Structure 1
Amino acid sequence: MRSPRFWSVPGHPAARLLAPVGHAYGTLTAARMDRAGARAPCPVLCLGNFTLGGAGKTPTALELARMLRELGASPAFLSRGYGGRLAGPVRVDAGRHGAAEVGDEPLLLARLAPTIVSRDRPAGARACAAGGADVVVMDDGLQNPSLAKDLSFAVVDAGAGIGNGLPFPAGPLRAPLARQWRHVAGLVLVGEGAPGEAVAAEAAGRGLPVHRARLVPEDAWAGRRILAFAGIGRPDKFFETLRAAGADVLATRAFPDHHPYSGADLAHLAAQARRLEADLVTTEKDAVRLPKSHPARTLAVRLVFDDAGAVGAQLAPLLRR
């Protein structure tokens, strides 16, 4: 879905109109989060976000899995496989599966470590352990109570924060923020921006560590003429990353998150790129939803923590459970 603009505008009439529905939805979600979940055979690390839409969970999950490996662990990823048709549990195989079967994020995660897609989270965790994992890394699932978590981080896009601070559909929150804090042990703040700083200040006030991070391009983009397109939670963040890397972004196209690109979409993008004499560039997450023969280049990024040592100190107890 594409976030409505009023989600970022405090006091907007549409938000006020929908506030009673949002209150009911948020209250039910918060009560659901408080339920006790099943224990997995090994520790569970959960990366979630307070809001609907993207915040940088997948790059965060990848970097934390790398850190767990450096600590001597054998992590596996567990994902619901949003957008895919397979209920699982199934181990993702990039040679056999596409985004239509398992979703886009799992295809990216599977490049680094074994990845299980399962709508039944406890069954998925058992499949991770059966495959040799000694830590399960959940990409999303903070609001899903079916599986008990040993450590949960909330990932927040600093440029977006929590929007107007109201629960869906009046705003982007999945549940009232005050009710969600009790389920996280730290905040991962990605990028810079006043909206995120407000969330960071509240986390610090609650005694929670704030782990600041940024997305760093892995390739050189300075001076390249680009038509950038993306169907992610906040496409503007992708466009900003390209500009910050020195790319000459001549035009942009934003699609809804997890958008299934049609032939007409791709033909229109190609025609516009030819007129501009520009290269088509998209995200890694979008790229796995494109035909393998599509000529779009991808912006590969890696999440870098300002203080990796502080993050590692929170991860280390998982290995001693």
Structure 2
Amino acid sequence: MRAPDFWTGDGGGIAPILLSPIAALYAAATARRVARPGWRAPVPVICCGNATAGGAGKTTLALDLGRRLANRGIAVHFLTRGYGGTLKGPARVEPGKHDSETVGDEALLLAAERPTWIAADRAAGARAAIEAGAQAIIMDDGLQNPTLEKDLSFLTIDGSYGFGNNRVIPAGPLREPVAAAAGRSGAVVLIGKDECGALALLPPGLAVLRARTVPGPEAKQLVGQSVFAFCGIANPRKFFSTLSESGAIIAGRAPYADHYPFDAGDMRELLAEADRLRAIPVTTKKDFVRIPPAFRARVTVVTVGLEWEEPAMLEAILDPLAGRVPIPA
């Protein structure tokens, strides 16, 4: 689904006001749920979460953290609900066997780098990962899930979107009030410039790590090239901007709703438009796994990563957790 227009802006208008009683009930239910005690794993658990519905860069952050811990010699496993997939788990994702309809697109991105587990019950997923040799677990999403205790939670914020209109679902995009999400987080990761004043809503003293999205090495092949960009992510504008900033010439663009399931009809239309524009069809890696296999050879993928303003600050935050990793017998 696409987020309603009134989820952005100053929170005014009749719709957010009319929906505010339901939003209050939603926030209260979330507060009761997250107050429940969860299972304490014998290995460090790091959560890449956010306060809003939709993406904020959690998967990109999880992949970055996974590489940093792996560089320290730690066996990292990813844990996710598998949004958009039918598999409830706990089950290990097998890229050659599972597809986006089964495990969701984000799980496939994670599994391409490290062992990844799907589990509606995060505690059960963590147990399975530990039995399989995980020395540390990185959760992609789950800040509002209480079943597994976290040693460190990062509150991820998309700087171009912030907290939307700062209201709780359904009056706005917040899963819970900002103060509640921030209160359970050990640090904030702001991706991009703070265009919406999100940082001003956070409690004082909370560590803020700043990063920006940068294109992967394949973007160099598109410098000066005419491209037709399409994607179904939470903030398509960010992908289009990344392409443009990397030197590609965007001849056309097609934004879709987050996690949009491209079918053969969609792809024929998209490729026909790219041909009409004499442009290279380009999308994200997350979207690529949702494209029917028969059309993938025609599409160029541009990956993204994070460039940190103060990487040493991030490593210092990870140091205590890395020191808690159990040593194999």
Equivalence for 1:5: 5
How many angstroms apart in 2 are the aligned matches of 1:139 and 1:151? 13
Which of 311-320 and 59-68 deviates more? 311-320
Equivalence for 1:199: 198
How many angstroms apart in 2 are the aligned matches of 1:93 and 1:172? 32
Does the 8 Å contact 1:92/1:115 carry over to 2? yes
How many angstroms apart in 2 are the aligned matches of 1:251 and 1:6? 26
Q: Deviations over 1:216-254 (max 9, x none)?
A: 112313211111111111111111111111211111111
Matched, 1:212 2:219: no
| 1:126 CA displacement | 0.7
Q: Deviations over 1:100-144 (max 9, x none)?
A: 111111111112111111111111001111111111000000001
Q: Deviations over 1:5-39 (max 9, x none)?
A: 11112112211121111111112112212221111
| 1:60 CA displacement | 0.4
Equivalence for 2:40: 39
Q: CA RMSD in A?
A: 1.2
SS in 1 for 2:78: strand
Q: Deviations over 1:162-193 (max 9, x none)?
A: 01100011100001112221110100001124
SS in 1 for 2:292: coil
How many angstroms apart in 1 are the aligned matches of 2:302 and 2:312? 27
| 1:319 CA displacement | 2.3
How many angstroms apart in 1 are the aligned matches of 2:39 and 2:94? 27
**Aligned residue runs from structure 1 range 228-243, under 5 A:** 228-243=229-244
How many angstroms apart in 1 are the aligned matches of 2:60 and 2:31? 26
What amino acid does structure 2 have at the position aligned with 1:132? G
| 1:318 CA displacement | 1.2
Matched, 1:187 2:161: no
Which of 236-245 and 152-161 deviates more? 236-245
Matched, 1:276 2:277: yes
Equivalence for 2:68: 67
SS in 2 for 1:170: coil
Equivalence for 2:319: 316
Unmatched 5+ residue regions in structure 1?
none
How many angstroms apart in 1 are the aligned matches of 2:69 and 2:310? 15
Q: TM-score, normalised by structure 1?
A: 0.96
How many angstroms apart in 2 are the aligned matches of 1:12 and 1:263? 39
Matched, 1:177 2:201: no
SS in 2 for 1:314: helix
How many angstroms apart in 1 are the aligned matches of 2:278 and 2:194? 33
| 1:71 CA displacement | 2.5
Equivalence for 1:222: 223
What amino acid does structure 2 have at the position aligned with 1:184? S
| 1:293 CA displacement | 3.2
Does the 8 Å contact 2:47/2:142 carry over to 1? yes
Q: Deviations over 1:254-290 (max 9, x none)?
A: 1111111122211111111111111111110000011
Equivalence for 1:296: 299
Q: TM-score, normalised by structure 2?
A: 0.94
Matched, 1:125 2:126: yes
What amino acid does structure 1 have at the position aligned with 2:152? L
What amino acid does structure 2 have at the position aligned with 1:286? D
Corresponding pairs, count: 318
SS in 2 for 1:35: coil
What amino acid does structure 1 have at the position aligned with 2:165? N
SS in 2 for 1:194: coil
Does the 8 Å contact 2:50/2:181 carry over to 1? no
Which of 212-221 and 170-179 deviates more? 212-221
Which of 152-161 and 90-99 deviates more? 90-99
Does the 8 Å contact 1:230/1:283 carry over to 2? yes
Which of 54-63 and 5-14 deviates more? 5-14
How many angstroms apart in 2 are the aligned matches of 1:12 and 1:239? 29
How many angstroms apart in 2 are the aligned matches of 1:152 and 1:125? 16
Equivalence for 2:309: 306
Equivalence for 2:90: 89
Matched, 1:111 2:85: no
Percent identity between the two aligned chains:
46
What amino acid does structure 2 have at the position aligned with 1:82? Y
